[in-house]
Chains A and B, each alone.
Chain A
């Protein structure tokens, strides 16, 4: 069996995806901000489970991006769907081996369907 490197990591069929969201449901709009989005929505492509977590970093004086990256890394997310990611958050997400998809808009459900 070939060694599984970083490139194959995020092509796994079953993984936890994080979507930045303005609300708690699948009908909520994707939040275009990463670090200071209203909610992180976690969707498990394996069993379809769905969880919304309120972002505790909204009012951070600074460094909201890396803090949010650590949060979703600790949840075990392998991929994040969002509008835009700042420089610091980008470094932290990359260091955590999380795949970043930017320019995502529409509802959470649409984002999931397109990126499953």
Chain B
């Protein structure tokens, strides 16, 4: 089973929930897909055993073969190619903008002259390791690099289907989040009872409904803010998996890179209950189908 942990708003406690869930279960693999700011390793403290560079293929045009037909430019969804056809004042030119390229390969496959080959561009690093039986993989996107979805997809290639896989997703509702949660059996949405938390939860719920991924909500710092979050979940028939109260001890432990279940071991049971609820919901959905 693949469980992703996401939230529209940043700083609601995705990583906290994901890490503590992982530490409360058995036979777990953890993927930190928040490749722009991976921080799970700070809490899980895995021993990194393997490092590899991550690349995406970007086009390279053989200008002797190119007829400047413009096919590559047409099929490029991300405007990473400019073709300036021959004219009275121009000999014809093709420009590649590698930092815009998502590495889909359409241009090289569809070039009628087979003038396009692919060259690797480094976008980041993938590190794998383990901690007390928990398999760990994360991606680190290079600084200044914007192309996180290809790296997230490469991190997800490490998924071990024989395990309970926990994916820590990046915040937000755009491409990186969708890439991270796609293919999950369930998504845990971590939120907080504030106007910002609610606004961004509503957006994330829309995304997950579109992706057809079952989900439930964890309300972090549930004793702060207002009651609008609970009201929204009831009105939308959304399961609340867990309510985690604000505790200074948790915040202090977090600042020291210490997971909740290490200072309050009784929370393991709470997280196991969350997992049982998820199992129930997923089983229920599978039965219906």
Contact = CB atoms under 8 A, between A and B. Distances in A.
A70 B80 contact: no
Interface string A56-90: 01001111101101100110101000000000100
A46 B284 CA distance: 74
Interface residues of B, number: 15
A59 B71 CA distance: 22
Interface in B70-90: 73, 78-80, 82-85, 87, 89-90
A96 B84 contact: yes
A60 B80 CA distance: 11
Contacts of B85: 74
Interface in B84-117: 84-85, 87, 89-90, 93, 95, 97, 100
B78 A61 contact: yes
Contacts of B80: 62-63
Interface in A41-64: 57, 60-64
A74 B85 CA distance: 8
Interface residues of A, number: 21
Interface in A10-55: none
A91 B93 CA distance: 11
A63 B83 contact: no
A interface majority secondary structure: helix
A69 B93 CA distance: 13
B82 A66 contact: yes
A12 B237 CA distance: 70
Given A92-B84, A95-B84, A9 B79 contact: no
B84 A70 contact: yes
Given A91-B95, A92-B95, A95-B95, A67 B90 contact: no
Nearest to A9: B89
Contacts of B87: 73, 76
A70 B72 CA distance: 14
Interface centre among A9, A78, A92, A95 (most CB of B within 10 A): A95
Given A63-B100, A67-B79, 14 more contacts: A62-B78, A63-B80, A63-B97, A66-B79, A66-B95, A67-B82, A70-B82, A73-B90, A88-B100, A91-B95, A92-B82, A95-B82, A95-B84, A95-B90
23 contacts: A60-B79, A61-B79, A63-B78, A64-B79, A66-B79, A66-B82, A66-B97, A67-B79, A67-B82, A69-B82, A70-B82, A70-B83, A73-B84, A73-B90, A76-B87, A78-B89, A88-B97, A92-B82, A95-B93, A95-B95, A96-B90, A96-B93, A97-B89
